[in-house]
Amino acid sequence: MPYVKLIDPASPPAAVKPALDGIKGAFGVVPNMFRAVANSSAALNSMWGSFGALGSGKLGARLGEEIAVAIANANHCEYCLAAHTALGRKAGATGEEMAAAQSGRSSDPRTQAALAFALKVVRDRAAVSEADVAALKAAGFDDESVVEIMAHIALNLFTNYVNVALNVPVDFPAVPLKRVA
């Protein structure tokens, strides 16, 4: 049971109705995470705006979803792991590619560099070195992409923490967490 009420998208407060209508238009339903976050119009608008901005960013949807599953697994967020695995498949990744990304791995060197960097940022609480950023750039990421990766990390930390801390019920097909060394 969630620790906050899940706002009913059929009768939401006026302040969150436009965002919930947009979310329903994008997903066909309003997923539970957004229903929980809709308790705060500021938080919902921030989250939904970030998804929209990053969804049209330079990295592309698939890499964004691969980063999301790696972070979700690291943070033990079953909700985000399930949601972003489904979204990653929709963005063109195979099930095997999403499973590898969940463990922070990819056969593509550019994706591998992004996943390794994202997990280092999460694991080491952003204490990365100049060499870590240089490795990301050597894999083909420019300054714009590096900053966009950081934005993906921040958004995923926000969503992971909301879902784990507030016990939001998973409403996507479940994906088991993996133990990663």
Are 74 and 180 within 8 A, CB to CB?
A: yes
Domains in the chain: ranges and CATH: 61-165 (1.20.1290.10)
pLDDT the model gives residue 180: 79
Say what the pLDDT of residue 48 is. Answer: 98
**Residue of 147, 150, 146, 166 lying closest to 79 (CA atoms):** 166
Confidence of residue 170 (pLDDT cuts 50, 70, 90): very high
pLDDT at 163: 98
- Structure confidence by residue, pLDDT tens digits, 96-144: 999 999 999 999 999 999 999 999 999 999 999 999 999 999 999 999 9
Looking at residue 161, its pLDDT comes to 98
Angle between helices 41-55 and 17-27 (to 10 degrees): 40
- Any residues with CB less than 8 A from the CB of 55 and at least 6 apart, and which? 61, 64
